[in-house]
Structure 1
Amino acid sequence: MHPYLESTLTVLFWVVYPLYWIVWWIVYLLVQAGLYILNPLYNVLLFILRPFILVGSFVGQLAYLPIDIIARFETIYIYLGVASLVGVVAGLVLHFTFSALVSVLGLKQSSRAISTYRSREPRRQQAVKAPEVSLHKSPDLPREAIAKSDPARLFARPKLTLQGPSPEGKQRRTLLDETLDEDDDSEI
């Protein structure tokens, strides 16, 4: 820096610096005097406006309540968002992987027309049809016929009854006969 400019700035600093503090103290004293004079008026005004301030504070808190509730569930939003992204990415990876495998191995299924599907449907229904027997008690079917036609043996008599063994004797065994009863007694 130029030597004359440097000495000029130094002189200005030492002249302006005390003036700055003099002006600052004058303004500070005026503000303090004004506050001392206006303090009773401020307290009265604050006392009168207190209900409006409290209602405004309540309305502000009430307006902030939905945002606060949403913020409480932030971790759930993050968890569900990450889980959905992982699910979408995994689904896309699986889709494209299996699409590539199907095209490479030539496993693509030919699309069937609705006419071929409808022509095969009556044959399939005829092959699957079984004699229809109502599993409910009916007066025209004896109980033995219902028991023999019932594959789950829902209406079959048990082998052992409270009166003793069943009069039908030994019947064919099914999975329902194989169930084990749990013990009710415990040492606890």
Structure 2
Amino acid sequence: MADQIQQALSILSRIAFYTSWPFVKLAHLLTFILSPFWRIAQFFLLPFTVLVQGLLGILLLPFRLNLLERFETIYIYLGIASLIGFAAGAALYVTFHVLSTTLRIDTATELEDRKHANARTIEAYRAERKSKRRRSGKDVLSISPTITSGEAVMARRQRGLLSQTIIEEEDSDF
């Protein structure tokens, strides 16, 4: 049985050798023909290859000098400390949240709810202001029925400190 397997493997290896032989010879012929072009391309690309080798040497320096082994202890210490801190912070957050909702002492949400409930929209503010003007009788259009809209706009603009006259004192002779 072993002899039959060995003969079958011998036959398969010969078949593989003779079928791959033309492809191998073709590859050798192509490398022989293209080798001068490859040498010229290597000569022109030499500055780039030296630059890439230098950059790779700088980037891979920590792996050559075993610098990672020197920082392994502190890396493990800081990693474990950050995991413990994260777990403790998450536990405190969950505990505080459960206690505050259970005891109903969440003041931050109550204050926000009150602010949102008392918040007015712009339209409500304008309507309230307009109704206050009408009640106080300060509405420019209600003062005189003969005032046009252009004069009403001018009257509205002239309110305030800028519409008042500045009286200058005269210099005295003293």
Fold agreement, TM-score > 0.5:
no
Q: State the TM bucket, normalised to the shorter chain.
A: 0.3 to 0.5
Higher helix share: 2
